[in-house]
Every structure is written in C-alpha cells, then in structure tokens.
Structure 1
Amino acid sequence: MYKKLISMLLLAFPMLISAQELTIDEQIEEKFKPFADAVSAVVFYPISIAGIDVPIVVILLLSGAFFFTLYFKFSNITLLGVAIRATNGKYDEVDHNSQDDISEEDVAGSDGDEVVKIKGVVGEVTHFQALTAALSATVGLGNIAGVAVAIAIGGPGATVWMILAGFLGMSTKLVEATLGVKYREVGPDGKIYGGPMYYLKKGLKEKNLAGLGKVLAGLYAVFVVGGSFGGGNMFQANQAAAQFKQLFDIQSGFIFGLVLAVLVGVVIIGGIKRIGRVTEKIVPFMAIMFVGASLIILAMNFSIIPEAMGQIWDGAFKQTSVVGGLIGVMIVGFQRAAFSNEAGVGSASIAHAAVKTKFPASEGIVASIGPFVDTVIICSMTALVIVVTNLKSNLFTYGNLDSKSNVLLNATNEPINGVDLTSVAFDSAIPNFSILLTVAVILFAFSSMLSWSYYGIQGWTYLFGKGKISDITYKALFLAFVVIGASSTLGSVIEFSDAMIFAMVFPNIIGLLLLAPKVKVELARYLKAIDHKRKE
C-alpha cells in the first residue's frame, strides 16, 4: 500500500512542479484554449470567395443588411431626417399622446405573471437616452483600434467600404429596434424586458413557428450572457487597464480593475434608467473629444487632405484594395471584437426596447442613426486622420504584416497593435495625445461595459427568471469579471466570448428575415401618425 502511494506521488510530482510554474492565467489559458478554438472555428467558419476565405458570419451580416436596405426602399437615406427629428424629441407628442392604445399583449408577461396594466406610454428612457445607451456599446475600441488595423491591412480604400457597411447597417438596426419595442414585455415593477429573445419567441409564434422561436430565443440568451462577460466586459477592462498601465508604467491592473468595478457597479445597480442618464452625458462627450481632436489634426494638415482623399477613392476601386477593404473592415474588425456598429448582432435592440413610445417603428428609425454616427462619422474620421498622418510622417506601410505571425508591423518592421497605431498617428500631430487617448479608451471601455451589463442581464433573466436574486447574482458575476479582465491576459477566454457575440448573429438574422413584414406594417403606421400630426 505504501509503495503504491509513494509511486503515485513520484509520478504526480513533475505535474505539480509544472503546475506551480504556470500562473493562474496560463493554467486557465492552457485548459480553455482547445474549447475556445473549437467554438471560434464554428462561428467563424470560412467560405472561399474569389480565393479569399470570408467567415460565414460576415457574409450573413452583409447579405442581411443589403436585403433590408432594398426591402425598406433605402430607408437609411430617405428617413434620416425623420430619425434626427425623432431623436431630438420633435415627435414626442406623437409617440406619447397618440390615440392608439397599447394593446394588452404589449404588457403581457411571458409566463403569465401578473403585470402592470399601463394606460398611456410604456417605457423607461427617452429616444436620446436609448440611442446613447446603444451607442455606448459600439462607440469604443473598434473606432480607435479596429479602424487603424483595417486601414493598415486593407489600405486607404477600406474607408469607402467601411462607410458603405455603415449605411447598410442602418437598415438592419431599423428592423432590430422596431421588433425590440413591438415584442417587449413590462414587469410588475414597470421594468422593460426586450430584445431578440422576446421577438424571436413571440414573433415567430405568431407565424406558427413557436418551436423554432423558443430554440432561437434560448440560444440567443445564452450567447448574449457569454458575450457580456467577455467581449462586453473582460476585453474592455483588459484594454483599458493596458492603456492605464502603459501611461503610468505600472505592472498590475488589479487595483485599476477594482476601481473600475466599483464605478461600473454604482451605475448598473440603478438599471437602464441610470445607465441612460450616464450614457447620454458620456457618449456625446466622447464623440466630441475624439472627433474634435481629429478635426484639429485635419485642419493642421489641410493641404494634404486632397491627396489623402485621392488615395481613399482610388484605393477603393482597385481589385486588391476592394478585397483588402472588405477583409480589413469586416473580417479583421468584426473578428477582433472591433466591429463598428453591431448591426445584425441584435444587442442594441435590448437597449432600444426600453424607450418611451407607443410606436415601435419610432425607435427603429431612431436606432438607424447608430451606425451612421458610429461608422459613417467617427470611424471614417479616424480613418482619414490615419491616412493623412501616414502621408505626412510615413508611420507604416499598408499591408505590412509579419509573414509568420500575421501581426501588423510599423515603418521599422516592429510589431504594433491598433491602439498604438492610432496613438502614434495622433501623437505625430498633437504632442502627448496618448494621454487623451488613454482617457478616451477608459471612457469607451466604461460606457461599453454599462450597456453590455444591461444586455447580459436581459439574457440572464430570460434564462433564470425575473427577480432580485437573479438580478444581484448576474451583477455580482459581471463586476467580478471586470476585475479578472483588468488583471489577466486570458486570450482564449476573450476569444471565446467574442465568438459568442458573433454567434448571436445566427439566430437573430433568421428572426429578422422572417419578421421583416411586421416591421413594414409598423413603419407605415408610424409615418402615417406623423403625417396626420403635421396636417393638424
């Protein structure tokens, strides 16, 4: 017996020594990597187009956006003025005081629970608050890092295709947000529950596809919870901590993570109302700060802009640049959790579902502004700054990747990431801009976590029920992941979580295509109400 015990200890000893040599991060990475790789391989399964491997999820996003743009007769352009006026509150009287009554179905609980019978308008936030809450999840590291990588790999012409993707995405957002409001539920306490989980389940049931609806809704809820912990939390905290540590030359991000978790906790405990109040202040400030700095740089280099615009236009229509642009914006940007607007992912419809309105399409129209602000304005502004500063200072060579690691290289062939590239580009024109960029990264990360916490808890309550215990459990886990993300380098965990976000596309796009006729009816109803008000 003793001999067997000694033999087992001797065999286990090398394994124990090996385990001690690995940090906790490394142990988790080692165990989780095969699982993360398997999930990513499914979600980002490639299809060869003209000899280029394109993930099927990217094809779904673009195809869906193109279809909705045609189906709704280019509403992304024709209704842009209506969207701006609705966001500013010009049509609030129509939204709130219409003679159309909310049907009992709009406030019916999914499990037959007793609900509040609300007379008049339903909702928790204004159009502007809902829009900024959704924008806070998309205006962030994708604008700073993702665009830089896309332009560096795809060339200046990638900018044109990025703008086109933004315009197409406006149509998808219109469909998502309209359905989010149409099929939302109101709990006994007046809280709103909405998003793909609800319009997949309830909307497809109306089309005699109840079984499919339940399956897709359940899958979406699982994916949005996983995505909220990873890409919407750990990735954001990790990148913010990295910028903070680099600026102040410190090693550990644990204390930073704790402080960030406290700040996030103070806001998310108050729910969507408090999130809306915070994001309506942070998002405009972030946008003004970043776009303002961009305009300063462009003004300083005004004479170079025509040449830069020429590079962008010429590059977009050369065959290599077309492929490079699509890969840069869609594959590199989307796959690295840096997609510009999340159109097709469905997450934004969760925030938009909480709006105060009687007309679902009113919020759909407002939501369409999201991709316009995020991609057409902010991302293209970043791209133009990078192209201009590269013309002036020769910071990097387009498409200059390490042949072995596929890592982006700068002008001296040293590895550089997207945030660093943007920092160098801005620093070359504005001394010490890296300090301002660090503030921007932290604010972007903070605001993204606020919105993703709301997205995640909606999926969580759909799976585990609506109540205080469920609510507190999710928020405690979310805040714990803030600290973990800030103090760890769990690459595979974050990779898996990003895959979860893109997995949301599959059930969501199916639902959007099947329910598009419902949106067309709601859109006509809202536009008729506006027209009636104008004639009074």
Structure 2
Amino acid sequence: MAKISTKQSVEHFLLSGLLLMLSPASALASIDQAINEAVAPATAFISSIIFYSVALGGAKVPLVVVWLLVAAVFFTVYFRFLNFSGFKHAIDIVRGLNHNPKAPGEVTHFQALTTAVSGTVGIGNIGGVAVAISMGGPGATFWLIVAGLLGMSTKFIECTLGTIYRKHNPDGSVSGGPMYYLEQGFLEKGLPNLGKFLGKFYALGIVIGCLGIGNMFQANQAYLQFVTVTGGDSSFFAGKGWLVGLVMAIIVGLVIIGGIKSIARVTSKLVPFMAVFYSVSALIIILMNAEALPFAFNAIIEGAFSPEGVAGGMLGVIVIGVQRAVFSNEAGIGSAPIAHSAVQTKEPITQGYVSMLEPFIDTVVICTLTALVIVTTFYYDPSFNAGLDGIGMTSAAFERNIGWSPLLIAFAGMLFAFSTLIAWAYYGLKGFTYLMGEHAWASNLFKLVFCFFIVVGCSIPLTAVLDFSDALVFLICVPNIIGLYVLAPVAKQALQAYNQKVRNQA
C-alpha cells in the first residue's frame, strides 16, 4: 500500500469536503469512500497505539484507560481526597461566594462550569451508559460512579493549572488550557523546548479532534435524532442532511461568533435546562419503577464484585465501567481547562474547586440516572434490550413506562449534541489561535471551517475521520497527564496558600 502523507490526507479531505457542497446526493457515497480511504492509514496507526490493550486476568485493558485512571487515583491521594472534602466549598463558589466581577477574566464561575459541562454531557450520557451495561452488566454502573468521583481530582489540578498559566490578551480576552501550562510550566522547570513541543502537539490534536468527536459526530447524531422526531424514514428531512446541517451551522455560528462570552451566555441557560430536563425525566421513570429499585441496587453491587458471563470477570466489569466514565467526563483529556481558564478570578484555585463539580454532574448524576432507568427496566422485562444497543436501548427503557418518551430522548439527544458543538468550537478555536496567533483572521477562519464541518457531519458518516479524531483526542491525554505530574507541586502550593487565606478570613 502506498504511503499517504498527513499533508496529502488533509488536502484530499478538504478538497472532498468542498466538492460535497456542489455534489448531487448520488455522489455522496463515493466522496465518503474516498475520504475514508485517504484517512484510514493514519486512523489505523494512531488507534493501534492509543487504544492498545493488554490481556490481564482474562480482560482486555486499554492502556489509555489505565493511564487516565492511575492519574485520577494519584491526584486523589496527592490532594488528600479534596474531591470529597472540598465539595461544599465548590458549591459555595459556584453560588457566587466572594465573586469579583472586576477580576481578570471573561465569565463567571458558573458560566465557566456550564461551558465545560456542555462539552462533556453528550450522547454518551444517554447511549454510552447503555453500551457499558450491555457489555459489563449492571455492575459496570458501580465502577462508573467510582471513576467519576476519582476523576474530580484530575479535573481539579488541570483546571487549576489552566487558570494559573492562562494568557491575558490585549483585547481583554483570555486564552488557557494544556498548551499554555505545558509551555510556561515546563519553561519554569528549565525544559522550554519540550514544553513548546508538547504544547503545539496538544493544540494540533485538539484542533483536529474538535472537528470530529466535537463536531461531525455530534452533528450527525443530532441530525439522526431530528429525523426520528419528525417522522423517521417518512420525514421530509430524511436524506436532507445538508439542509439540516446548514441550519445547525448557522445557529452554532451565531453563538460562537461572539467568543466565550456569547458561548457562556447560552450554556449558562441551556446546560441547567437540559440537565434538569433529562434528570427529571429519568427520575420520573425511576419512581414509576420504584418497586424495582432494591433489585437494581442489588444487581449493581453484586455485579460489581461477582460478575458472571463477562469476559475477564470482575476486572472486565471494572474496565468497562471506568472506560465509560473517563470517555464521558474527559477528566485528564485537558479540554475542560480551556473553558475554565476564562473565569473572572484572582484566585486560580477557586476554579479548580468548581471544576470538580463537572465529573460529578456528568458521570455521578446523569450517567447514574440513565443506568438506573435501564437496570430497573430489566426487573420487569429482562429481554427488553434484545437487538438494541446504545441510545435505542435507553429509549426502549423509557418507552416501557411512557409510550411517547422516545421523543423526550430524541429531544434530549439533540440538546446534548448542540451544547457539545458550541463548547468544542471554543476548544478548537483556542488550539488554533495558539498555533496561528491571536489574530482576528485566524479566529474567523476557524469558526467558518468549524461551521462548514457541521454540514459535512450531517451529510456523510466519514467513519475513518471520526475514528481518527477520536483516537487523537485521547492521544493528547498523554502530554497533558505528563504535564499534570510535573506541575503538581505548583497546584499544591497554590492550594495551601489559598486554604491559609480562607482560614485567616474565617
């Protein structure tokens, strides 16, 4: 097979995308195939590295999951279980404790949190949990919760560092994230060249990754849910992905054109609404299944420690639950610090506290509610999920109690996808301007390209491209976690100084 360079792949990809806008529907399949063939070699290579699994106790353990889990455990111990002891203080800060609107930054603590949450709460909270349960049984839910709680510690350190090392631009805007604390932090450690390399590598990864996992995949899923709501195969919009994508692109464009302030204004209203909407819907189903709750809790606990019929036994269930959690809340990926670093504060530690609420909301609350809806449904109909997987399985669990609830699931899925789109647009933008410079033309160019890819995502699957971006997003957790280990003393010193100040004010 002839070797295809990265440059050739990108050129082929962009050219094919432009042709898409001019092509009739009959040409989409050939364009899809051409793009997938161009990107497939790079996809296979990166995926083979980042998702490499080792056999352990009969279970296949992806090394990236181990990498993220070990970091979460380490930082939980390193910060003396701050994820539990600091929970109340995090709530107080989000509620506005000592907020200074004149402090450097662009958004409030609450707005920074909702922007980051909008990037993690997505289709995976509805469909991904169902996949975990179908693979690992109800016991996967227990380990999902454990991993979510541990992930709070990783979020704390990465968002603290993101705020410490953020860059204040001449126009008053703020830029932050792993690329900045890798470059500046390693410079302080006497490793300037390594820091610059890791920073640029991370920035490139987040740019490419945002166009796939944070854009095309979300747009495609939103389109599929929209078609479902409007009549399925008989819908007027069936086969008109380009039209739906164009409308979505315009709406997203109107939001992201104003930068983080505009995005935060939308997410501060959208995220609480969609989180409450979905959570209340799930709670209603759980209450209707109240009789099955003892069965569900027993199945979750027993399945967590004595699973049967799962490859790898107990270890296999742990891997499945942990994998779902780290893939859902993205603790250690480094995306969240990009949003959190825009906060208005003179105390970076405050946003570290606030960021711990993100995995709690995403994984411990929303994912757990989804799991309880599914597991309680098994009590009444053990085979309800036959032939179903992902969001279809969750939808069927809701539908058993309320016949029209699949419409709720479809609506929630569309909201989750849209919120993820606007958050990842900001992540990709900051990666792009880090590489190209804080120029208006660079910012506007990226926003235009991002919106264009929404149309592409709704029109053709581009399986290889999505797999490529998915692998790349998890590949960049490697330099990010390395940076967290190296700079952990900086965060700890800042925490100790902040806690002393709080005690003096008490």
TM-score scaled by structure 2? 0.90
Distance, in Å, in 2 between the alignment partners of 1:480 and 1:389 is 41
Residue aligning to 2:336: 348
Residue 29 of structure 1: aligned partner: 36
Q: Which residue of 1 aligns with 2:431?
A: 459
Q: Which residue of 2 aligns with 1:196?
A: 178
Structure number with greater Rg is 1
What's the secondary structure of 1:343's corresponding residue? coil
Which ranges of structure 2 fall in alignment gaps of 5 or more residues? Answer: 1-25, 233-237
Name the structure 2 match of 1:328. Answer: 320
Which of residues 55, 63, 79 in structure 2 aligns to 1:56? Answer: 63
The one-letter amino acid paired with 1:191 is S
Residue 191 of structure 2 corresponds to residue 209 of structure 1: yes
- For residue 360 of structure 2, the aligned residue among 372, 390, 402 is 372
Aligned ranges 1:266-345 → 2 under 5 Å: 266-318=254-306, 320=310, 322-331=314-323, 339-345=327-333
Aligned equivalents of 1:433 and 1:22: distance in 2? Answer: 33
Q: Please give the per-residue CA displacement for 1:435-488, whole angstroms capped at 9, x wherever unaligned.
A: 111111111111101110000010000111111110111001000000000111
**Separation (CA, whole Å) in 1 of partners of 2:458 and 2:156:** 35
- Indicate if the aligned counterparts of 2:256 and 2:262 stay in contact, CA closer than 8 A: yes
Deviation string, structure 1 residues 212-268 (Cα, Å, up to 9, x no partner) = 111111110010001110000001001111122233222231111111111100000
Q: Deviation per CA, 1:267-325: give whole Å up to 9, x if none.
A: 00010001111001111111111110111111111111011111111111115553332
| 1:20 Cα deviation from its structure 2 partner | 7.5
Aligned to 1:498: 470
Matched, 1:185 2:167: yes
Partner of 1:79: 86
Q: Is the 8 A contact 1:139 1:374 kept in 2?
A: yes
Q: Which residue of 2 aligns with 1:99?
A: none
Residue 265 of structure 1 corresponds to 253
Q: Which amino acid aligns with 1:63?
A: V
* Structure 1: distance between partners of 2:329 and 2:79: 19
Match of 2:479 among 493, 504, 507: 507
Rounded Cα–Cα distance in structure 2 between residues aligned with 1:509 and 1:285: 33
Between the aligned partners of 1:176 and 1:20, the Cα distance in structure 2 is 45
Counterpart contact for 1:158–1:322, Cα < 8 Å? no
Matched residue, 1:383:
371
| C-alpha deviation, 1:187, in angstroms | 0.7
* Letter of the structure 2 residue corresponding to residue 237 of structure 1: A
Mark the CA change 1:22 to 1:142 in structure 2 (over 3 Å): closer, same or farther: closer
Give how far 1:121 is off: 1.6
Residues 22 and 444 (structure 1), Cα distance of their counterparts in 2 relative to 1, 3 Å cut? closer
Determine whether 1:139 maps to 2:139. Answer: no
Range with greater deviation from structure 2 (32-41 or 157-166): 32-41
Give the distance between the partners of 1:89 and 1:214, measured in 2 at CA. Answer: 36
Alignment-mate amino acid for residue 492 of structure 1: A
Q: Secondary structure at the match of 2:104?
A: coil
Deviation of residue 391 (structure 1)? 1.7
Assess if the C-alpha contact under 8 Å between 2:144 and 2:324 holds in 1: no
From 442, 454, 472, the equivalent of 1:470 is: 442
Inter-partner Cα distance in structure 2 for 1:209 and 1:514: 11
Deviations 1:22-43 (A, max 9, x none): 5211222233222211121111
The answer to whether the 8 Å contact 1:245/1:252 transfers is no
1:15-61 Cα distance to aligned partner (Å, 9 max, x none): xxxx9795211222233222211121111122222232222111110
Question: Contact 1:234–1:485 at 8 Å: present in 2 too?
Answer: yes
Corresponding residue for residue 17 of structure 2:
none
Rounded to whole Å, the distance in 1 between the matches of 2:134 and 2:253 is 37
Within 5 A, what are the aligned runs for 1:87-166?
Answer: 87-92=94-99, 121-166=103-148
Deviation per CA, 1:397-444, whole angstroms, max 9, x where unpaired? xxxxxxxxxxxxx42xx3x33011111111111221111111111111
Contact residue 151 and residue 325 of structure 1 kept, 8 A: no
Q: Aligned partners of 1:152, 1:20: CA distance in 2, in Å?
A: 37
In the alignment, the residues of structure 2 paired with residue 495 and residue 192 of structure 1 have an alpha-carbon distance, to the nearest angstrom, of 31
Q: How do 1:236-275 and structure 2 match up within 5 A? A: 236-247=218-229, 248-249=231-232, 250-275=238-263
> Does structure 1 retain, via aligned residues, the 8 Å contact 2:205–2:476?
yes
Asked if 1:221 corresponds to 2:208, the answer is no
- In structure 2, C-alpha distance between the alignment counterparts of 1:524 and 1:187, rounded to whole Å: 29
State, as a whole percentage, how many aligned pairs show the same letter: 48
Q: Is 1:361–2:336 an aligned residue pair?
A: no
Are the equivalent residues in 2 in contact too, given 1:159–1:325 (CA < 8 A)? Answer: no
Letter paired with 1:216: L
In 1, Cα distance between the equivalents of 2:39 and 2:214? 19
Q: TM-score, normalised by structure 1?
A: 0.85
Distance 1:21 1:504, change over 3 A: closer
Q: CA deviation at 1:331?
A: 4.1
C-alpha separation between the residues in 2 aligned to 1:511 and 1:206?
A: 12
Are residue 482 (structure 1) and residue 474 (structure 2) matched?
Answer: no
- Whether the aligned pair in 2 keeps the contact of 1:146 and 1:333 (CA below 8 Å) is no
User: Is residue 430 of structure 1 aligned with residue 437 of structure 2?
Assistant: no
1:439 paired residue number = 411
The answer as to whether partners of 1:395 and 1:425 remain within 8 angstroms in 2 is no
Change (3 A) 1:262 1:327: same
Separation (CA, whole Å) in 1 of partners of 2:481 and 2:57? 25
In the alignment, residue 323 of structure 1 is paired with which amino acid?
A: L
2:328 counterpart SS class = coil
> Does the 8 A contact of 1:65 with 1:171 survive in 2?
yes
CA deviations 1:63-86 (Å, max 9, x no partner) are 000000000000000100101101
* Paired amino acid for 1:289: F
Matched-pair contact (CA < 8 Å) for 2:60–2:316: no
Confirm or deny that 1:524 pairs with 2:506.
no
Which AA in structure 2 matches 1:161? W
Partner of 2:97: helix, strand, or coil?
A: coil
Residue by residue over 1:152-202, the C-alpha shift from the partner in whole angstroms, topping out at 9 and shown as x without a partner, is 111111111000000100000000100000000111100101000000000
Give SS of 1:391's match: helix
Provide the alpha-carbon RMSD of the alignment: 1.6
Task: Write the letter of the residue equivalent to 1:377.
Answer: V
